[in-house]
Amino acid sequence: MEKTEQIHYRACHLCEATCGLEIRCRGAEILSIKGDKEDPLSRGFYCPKALALKDIHNDPDRLRHPVKRVGDKWIPLDWEEALDITVEEIFNIREEYGPDAVGVYLGNPCIHNYGMLTHGGHFLSHLKTRSRFSATSLDQLPHHLVGYLMYGHQLLVPIADIDRTDYFLMIGANPLASNGSMMTVPDIRKRIRSLQNRGGKLVVIDPRLTETAKVADEHHFITPGSDAAFLLAMLQTLFAENLVDTGNLSALLDGLETVRSAVKPFTPERAETWTGIPATTIRRLARDLSKADRGVCYGRMGVSVHLYGTLCQWAVQMLNILTGNLDRVGGALFTKPAFDTIGGPRSRPGHYAAWRSRVSALPEFSGELPAVTMAEEMLTAGKGQIRSLFTGAANPVLTASNGRLLEKALAGLDFMVSLDPFINETTRFANIILPPTSPLEHDHFDIGFFVMGIRNTVRYNQPVFAKPGGALHDWEIYSELGKRLAVKLGVKPRPEMAPDEMIDFGLQAGPYSSHAGHPEAMSLAKLKQNPHGIDLGPLQPSLPDRLYSENKRINGAPDLIMSDLSRVEQDLRQSGKGKDALLLIGRRHLFSANSWLHNTKRLVGIKERCQLFMHPDDMADLAVKDGQQVRITSRVGSVEVGVKATDEVMKGVVSLPHGWGHDRPGVRLSVAACHPGVSMNDLTDEKIFDPVSGNASLNSVPVTVKGMN
Ligand SMILES: Nc1nc2c(c(=O)[nH]1)N[C@H]1C(S)=C(S)[C@@H](COP(=O)(O)OP(=O)(O)OC[C@H]3O[C@@H](n4cnc5c(=O)[nH]c(N)nc54)[C@H](O)[C@@H]3O)O[C@H]1N2
Ligand SMILES: Nc1nc2c(c(=O)[nH]1)N[C@H]1C(S)=C(S)[C@@H](COP(=O)(O)OP(=O)(O)OC[C@H]3O[C@@H](n4cnc5c(=O)[nH]c(N)nc54)[C@H](O)[C@@H]3O)O[C@H]1N2
Ligand code: SF4
Ligand SMILES: [Mo]
């Protein structure tokens, strides 16, 4: 009998844009994937990566059952055995060496898989280890630390109101390739066009003329790593030219005078030497932002993931505050999500430096230590040395600083287990791999991304396919591990409740619930009846109510940040002197998602993407030619790759994408193996980081380049 066609509505979980998709299936076959025109946020937009959902689902390399490594062979295990061995090994190491000997590393896809968020604690909380790490400290940690210091909560990150602003100052972000980050903004190209059509302006500050810079009204090259000087000079100009107007925030803001005197020495003239942006331009940009009716400054990877990540994110907040644009329509606003992880009863505002890492004494944030310390914590003998590692949805060998050092560390572990569907550059070191169901086999809810939306919306999607017999979802694996470990430890396991029940609970206690007297009367049942999602309206001013600080005030001058200004002062004095090294920055491509979408033919294509971009003048200086193989060397390692001449990168800057380097032995990714590329993180340096947060500095790595014959 011919099977009938079915249409499923489903969010794409591959990036932060979380586009609504329409997936047509017949039986187990996916016939088509396209944008859901009725999705209130993405309005039919989707990008070519969405089609990869079909490839991931059907990928023959995707593990369907647990495996155990014996020498260089992988043998299948049944679930009972795999879970039992895992818990036994971890328990034994914990007993012998203490809780901190068990490390945990969680990767980016955890945030896109809500069961991993709701149920990770079922297992991980029993470990009681301080050796916890995640991709957060390769990424957005400075945003969380600044939210915590200034507004009292790590998730209080204001969102740029792109649909209503007149002036968008974007620093170190390339949303036309990344589709937006710390800002859930599907279809940003159209939104930028609308901004321009209503007479507004987009200004991009980036060392590369990116896809986004090309559609901007203004683009200014900036020396990588010098944004602190640029941002401080912008703040200095606002004070010096009497442009400060904090509007409604005046009554809530502490520390204004401290900031005024702290930024005084950081003049645009001094910033010019380091940044390469003329002082007159910096002053004009400060005036333009302050004079715009509705303006906003937004900074992302390019300012978070370098030596001054925290300071820069603070300065971005201050620019919005001093121009009266925080908590203003068309400026930067806080969201009000239906499942409220900030205002709810289980809110976790965060904590900082409650303990420090054993070897380098870097601060924890909210229970996690910086990823840059992970390898040394495995390699340095002594009490608390990590001897066993659990990884969940992570590939740090390709994505964390100094991947080669990490490989060495992983190879020396007593036991490693990975919750992951693939045998890749990291999981090949595991003793056991526990593969979850395919993403389309479980339901979906964007706990993390509704908090970052440029509009308040909510959506829940049921699974596209039924769970195959004998398979387990990520959350079920966590539950099973947790139950077993609780028995061994003689403690109570977490209560049984499926992720969707937890969501229902949160929705019915949230700000749009009947409990809160809201006409939406939000519940899971309601979301099930509205698979396209529900629009909850544009972002609204919400201060001081939304502040989580005890005194309900904004801390404009946190001590931790004020005391970091002396470091900028020192670097400013050094700038301009001895500029031998080239500075390496990253590059995202629309068809990639960090390290894990290179095993699909339609996304790796035929054109080589893993190339070094270099300015023709720098190439002439080094006598290298377009297309030639070059060796790039940093303090920690070197790689060989083809070079492409382009004046899209500024002089003195070279750019390489991350997430490549699939030709390591033992990797079982058959398509990626044909397009291996090299890993940028064989060059990034675990000793270069933002000392305030411990966040990695993956951009602006000093390197030398040499032509090969
Ligand atoms: N296609 C695709 N989309 C993705 C991802 C992906 O891998 N591929 N990854 C997802 C993830 S995990 C994230 S966190 C987001 C990131 O989202 P974005 O931050 O928008 O992405 P990037 O492309 O890293 O943008 C950083 C920009 O900063 C610039 N830059 C580098 N160094 C400096 C500097 O010192 N100063 C300044 N001002 N700029 C600098 C770079 O040239 C680059 O254009 O993207 C997400 N979306
Ligand atoms: N040089 C440089 N390095 C960077 C960056 C950069 O810009 N430049 N960006 C950094 C950023 S922003 C980030 S977020 C990190 C990302 O770093 P990671 O999180 O380590 O990298 P991913 O490639 O996203 O890793 C994905 C892993 O999750 C698995 N996976 C995918 N979906 C699921 C799932 O549903 N369940 C489970 N259990 N596993 C799943 C995949 O098989 C893969 O092993 O990389 C960082 N590294
Ligand atoms: S933009 Fe991101 S969420 Fe939207 S379809 Fe592409 S990968 Fe998926
Ligand atoms: Mo990220």
Q: What is the pLDDT of residues 544-595, one digit of tens each?
A: 999 999 999 999 999 999 999 999 999 999 886 666 789 999 999 999 999 9
Which residues on adjacent β-strands are paired with residue 416? 389
The domain made up of 580-707 is a member of CATH 2.40.40.20: yes
Q: Is the predicted pLDDT of residue 332 greater than 60, yes or no? A: yes
On the 0-12 / 13-18 / 19+ scale of CB atoms within 10 A, 537 is: exposed
Q: Is 209 in the pocket of ligand 1 (CB under 6 A)?
A: no
Average pLDDT over residues 329-339: 98
Residue 53 CA to residue 44 CA, distance in Å, equals: 17
In this prediction, residue 351 has a pLDDT band, given cuts at 50, 70 and 90, of very high
Average pLDDT over residues 434-454: 98
Question: How much of the chain, in percent, has pLDDT values that exceed 90?
Answer: 97
Q: Is the predicted pLDDT of residue 664 greater than 70, yes or no? A: yes
Which pLDDT value is given to residue 360? 98
The one-letter amino acid code at 201 reads: K
Q: Is the predicted pLDDT of residue 658 greater than 80, yes or no? A: yes
3-class SS at 388? strand
Q: How far is the CA of 177 from the centre of ligand 4 (A)?
A: 13
Q: How far is the CA of 108 from the centre of ligand 4 (A)?
A: 6
User: Per the confidence metrics, is the pTM higher than 0.85?
Assistant: yes
Q: Is the predicted pLDDT of residue 1 greater than 60, yes or no? A: no
Q: Is the predicted pLDDT of residue 642 greater than 70, yes or no? A: yes
H/E stretch holding 290: helix 279-291
Ligand positioned closest to the Cα atom of 45 = 3
Task: Determine contact, residues 426/463, Cβ cutoff 8 Å.
Answer: no
Residue 682 CA to residue 279 CA, distance in Å, equals: 36
Q: How many C-beta atoms surround the C-beta of residue 670 within 10 A? A: 11
Mutation probe of ligand 3 site: the residue of 10, 13, 14, 56 with most atoms within 8 A of C-beta: 14
Q: Is 14 in the pocket of ligand 3 (CB under 6 A)?
A: yes
List where CATH 2.40.40.20 sits in the chain.
580-707
- 87: nearest Cα among 115, 119, 126: 126
User: Which numbered atom of ligand 1 lies nearest the CA of 306?
Assistant: 35
CATH code linked to domain 67-139+341-538? 3.40.50.740
Task: Determine contact, residues 156/547, Cβ cutoff 8 Å.
Answer: yes
The one-letter amino acid code at 3 reads: K
- 4: nearest Cα among 28, 34, 27, 32: 27
Residues in the chain: 709
Mutation probe of ligand 1 site: the residue of 585, 603, 604 with most atoms within 8 A of C-beta: 585
Which pLDDT value is given to residue 172? 98
In this prediction, residue 709 has a pLDDT band, given cuts at 50, 70 and 90, of confident
List where CATH 3.40.228.10 sits in the chain.
161-328+547-565
From 2-6, 292-296, 379-383, 611-615, the region with the lowest mean pLDDT: 2-6
Q: Give 451-508 as a 3 state SS string.
A: HHECEEEECEECCCCCCCCCCCCHHHHHHHHHHHHHHHHCCCCCCCCCHHHHHHHHHH
Mutation probe of ligand 3 site: the residue of 10, 49, 188 with most atoms within 8 A of C-beta: 49
Q: Is 237 in the pocket of ligand 1 (CB under 6 A)?
A: no
Q: Is 18 in the pocket of ligand 3 (CB under 6 A)?
A: yes
Q: Is the predicted pLDDT of residue 2 greater than 70, yes or no? A: no
- Strands (E) in 102-176, as ranges, are 102-106, 132-134, 159-160, 167-171
Q: Is 56 in the pocket of ligand 3 (CB under 6 A)?
A: no
Question: How much of the chain, in percent, has pLDDT values that exceed 70?
Answer: 99
Q: What is the mean pLDDT of the chain?
A: 97
List where CATH 3.40.50.740 sits in the chain.
67-139+341-538
Residue 267 CA to residue 233 CA, distance in Å, equals: 5
Which pLDDT value is given to residue 579? 63
Ligand positioned closest to the Cα atom of 173 = 1
Which pLDDT value is given to residue 645? 98
Which pLDDT value is given to residue 425? 98
Q: Is 184 in the pocket of ligand 3 (CB under 6 A)?
A: no
Q: How far is the CA of 700 from the centre of ligand 4 (A)?
A: 17
Task: Determine contact, residues 212/204, Cβ cutoff 8 Å.
Answer: yes
- According to DSSP, residue 450 is labeled G
- The token duo for 544 is 């001081």
HSE-up of residue 641 (Cα within 13 Å, Cβ side): 29
We find that the CATH architecture of domain 5-58 is 2-Layer Sandwich (3.30)
Task: Determine contact, residues 512/520, Cβ cutoff 8 Å.
Answer: yes
Average pLDDT over residues 406-412: 98
The domain made up of 161-328+547-565 is a member of CATH 3.40.228.10: yes
Q: How far is the CA of 657 from the centre of ligand 1 (A)?
A: 10
Q: How many C-beta atoms surround the C-beta of residue 665 within 10 A? A: 7
Which pLDDT value is given to residue 660? 98
Measuring from each residue's beta carbon to the nearest atom of ligand 2, which residues come in under 6 Å?
Answer: 107-109, 113, 135, 138-139, 301, 392-396, 399, 419-422, 424, 436, 439, 474, 586, 594-596, 658-659, 680-681, 684, 698
Distance from the Cα of residue 403 to its chain's centroid: 18
Q: Is the predicted pLDDT of residue 9 greater than 60, yes or no? A: yes
Average pLDDT over residues 104-124: 97
Residue 510 CA to residue 508 CA, distance in Å, equals: 6
Which pLDDT value is given to residue 578? 61
Pairing of strands 653-655, 612-614: antiparallel
Average pLDDT over residues 9-34: 98
